[in-house]
Structure 1
């Protein structure tokens, strides 16, 4: 199949709009040919996952685009970097790593990207609309945009997402197209829970991520969520344990008002029943220690905490009032942090051990003061990645139990 290019596409490819646009279009054309896309389509926005410094190649790529006078063509948000630019003293990083990490974040800004530095761009003013074509990186952002918002993006990796932003175009392929968004595998949830806990959504996400393979999952029987943050937790967990970029929850997500709509009139290729035991087993695998183990820190906000999550946390801190000053790190976007500061919501919160983290995340950057004890978290994604990334022992629990554990100094869960 020959890729069809518009006149503007060809102009970019020919270098008529500068060397950076030409380089981006050349890469995008090669990628589109590789996946078999017949043409390119316009996008309304992009989210770039390449701000985390992994080595010189990534920095060289972005700085070459800057040197060539490159600019993004659509509103473009940035995922977390390797450094907290708001609280620079918090990050423990050798100068040899800090300098390029900062340069990489700055280089993206020089391309015209927005200084969001958050993995939850869907909870900023750059949230896309239903049916909008976008090109996003970052697994949890992708699954949320597709599933909860109903925008359209594939799972774009580093460099391809930026090439889409630089050209304002993406391949007409995969989840950008309606026919490829239908459900393939049905999960029937048999867990009656009129007031579902956050853990239920995490557990369901972990389960469907592992069981879906490359098929789009449809979940029937999921309770109505308290808010979109519970769907955020489900999607992040599903994208962590599997390749899920889109899920449908019948009666909840916008492309699944009915089972028939979710499957676009087709029959599911397979049906799997999820029991309470399945959810409990998936959650149990997140913890590497038992109740009672000493706690060194609590880490919340992976994906980044929303304003609504902060509004649940802050009264909890005041109510439980940790007597021990075990640090409670909360990863959040800088826009959310600014709003909280303007509202005065964080005044006096340092007395409770609260440490806001912006622009990055505690499981990818050296921020935690102690790595020799247990870290409590309410995030399935953090619990899954942190042991391998930063070498800590993890205990997963509801947010309230995380705060109770910080007060007690050891892991406390449920009625224990």
Structure 2
């Protein structure tokens, strides 16, 4: 691999041990990907933020790295952490967990990372431009950035994204190369796909049939932010690719997606049972979705014995608060959390969860062994309103 003088100096520890470690990670991954050189990145987004995921070992690693007095070179944001750092008691989290999670955030801040904990950085806090090379973890954000913004990023791990943030570099391989961004299998929608849930299921189905092959979606295109978010999240939950393409036609192996398949995918993961908690916000709710929820619940109340948890980014929350949406929602009895996600939280849930997202259904079942009921968000919300 050909390195510039500055890159060699970072690798040799001239600028400190923190950058030396980061460069070793980047070059190691580059060798695996047969990269010939490194490139600059415009931004980074780091996963591995929740204490539930990284534990004491991850916290110790971050604190040690921060002690080396190294800072990120490019704008860098974080994925959701395990709790709402303000309303954590409302989540039923104990002091010990809060203290550990707060230390993780503090360590990232010491590294110069912006403590905006969201899985939708592309909406408010870390918006790449078309053709930008970036180093992002969080698989749904990777798919969104590559597919709908036309930026360039591989599916980074939390560690490799952090290494790129510190050095401002990544190896030139994989989805950074236009030749590696070609479709290899097509999925054709045989009905008019519309709405967040239908695109979530289309994404999930596509991930299953495409595997490691970049999919080409025929006869369907998500037009709204919620549709694009849910397609990206669904694809990320079931597949291993980092992007998709959309066209009206393509000449390659094609798999049909019809109404029966749509129903089969939902039926496989969903139960008909009543649910105790409705969780919306995977990926984090955007302002448009919060406004829609506020219109639905205005002047009404949640049925006794039910809970509704909404998760969003800090930036979306502030806008929604300033528009009066948060007050309307909380007056109706719903809980609004920021910086977190139920999937990566320590919250112990024993009963069925309602969701409109295939990613939620996939991970709540596999990680927490909890049943889910899948339906459109507004339909589920109507079930819990008086």
TM, length-normalised to structure 1: 0.88
Alpha carbons 1:295, 1:406 under 8 Å: kept: no
For 1:200, the equivalent position in structure 2 comes to: 198
Q: CA deviation at 1:335?
A: 1.2
Match of 1:31 in 2: 29
Q: Give the Cα–Cα distance (whole angstroms) in 2 for the partners of residues 161 and 125 of structure 1.
A: 16
Which digits, 9 at most, give the CA deviation of each residue in 1:293-321, with x for residues without a partner? 33311100000001111112111122775
Which residue in the other structure is 1:296 paired with? 276
Rounded to whole Å, the distance in 2 between the matches of 1:240 and 1:382 is 9
Query: Match of 1:298, SS?
Result: strand
Residue 227 of structure 1 and its aligned partner are, at CA, apart by 0.7
Residue 61 of structure 2 aligns with which residue?
Answer: 61
Separation in 2, partners of 1:372, 1:20: 43
Deviation at 1:17, TM superposition (A): 1.6
Contact 1:320 1:403 in 2 (8 A): no
How much has 1:404 moved relative to structure 2? Answer: 1.4
Q: CA deviation at 1:35?
A: 2.1
Helix, strand or coil for the counterpart of 2:342? coil
Report 1:180-329 matches (<5 A): 180-192=180-192, 196-222=194-220, 224-250=221-247, 259=249, 267-268=251-252, 270-287=253-270, 289-290=271-272, 293-318=273-298, 321-324=301-304, 326-329=306-309
Change (3 A) 1:319 1:208: farther
Structure 1 match to 2:344: 364
Flag the 1:147–1:372 CA change in 2: closer, same or farther, 3 A: same
Tell me the secondary structure at the aligned position of residue 304 of structure 1.
strand
Q: Distance in 2 between matches of 1:294 and 1:213?
A: 33
SS at match of 1:123: coil
Match of 1:106 in 2: 106
Aligned length: 384
SS in 2 for 1:285: helix
Looking at structure 1, the residues matched to 381 and 299 of structure 2 have their Cα atoms a distance apart, in angstroms, of 10
- Name the structure 1 match of 2:149: 149
Residue of structure 2 aligned with 1:340, choices 296, 320, 323: 320
Q: Which residue of 2 aligns with 1:134?
A: 134
**Are 1:45 and 1:134, in contact at CA under 8 Å, matched by a contact in 2?**
yes
Native 8 Å contact 2:309 2:336 kept in 1: yes
2:6 is matched with 8
SS at match of 2:277: strand
- Structure 2: distance between partners of 1:228 and 1:342: 21
Deviation string 1:322-362 (CA, Å, 9 cap, x unpaired) is 44462210010111111212222222422322101111111
Partner of 1:44: helix, strand, or coil? Answer: coil
> RMSD in angstroms over aligned alpha carbons?
1.8
Query: In the alignment, which residue of structure 1 is the partner of 2:351?
Result: 373
CA distance in 1, matches of 2:37, 2:222: 38
Candidates 42, 45, 50, aligned match of 2:43: 45
Q: What CA distance in whole angstroms lies between the structure 1 residues aligned with 2:66 and 2:302? A: 48
Partner secondary structure for residue 58 of structure 2: helix
- Asked whether 1:394 is paired with 2:377, we answer no
Q: What residue ranges of structure 1 are gaps of 5+ in the alignment?
A: 252-258, 261-266, 409-416
Matches for 1:153-192 after TM superposition, within 5 Å = 153-192=153-192
**8 Å Cα contact 1:324/1:407 also seen in 2:** no
Contact 1:325 1:353 in 2 (8 A): no
**C-alpha displacement at 1:95, in angstroms?**
4.3
Q: Structure 2: any 5+ residue segments left out of the alignment?
A: none
CA distance in structure 2 between the aligned counterparts of 1:300 and 1:117, rounded to whole angstroms? 17
Relative to 1, partners in 2 of residues 1:178 and 1:359: Cα closer, same or farther, differing over 3 Å?
A: same
Q: Is the CA contact 1:320–1:404 (under 8 Å) kept in the aligned structure 2?
A: no
Q: Which moved more, 1:40-49 or 1:103-112?
A: 103-112
Q: Normalising to structure 2: TM-score of the pair?
A: 0.94
Aligned-pair distance for 1:199? 2.1
Q: Which stretch has the larger CA shift, 51-60 or 326-335?
A: 51-60
Q: Does 1:330 align with 2:310?
A: yes
Q: Distance in 2 between matches of 1:363 and 1:153?
A: 24
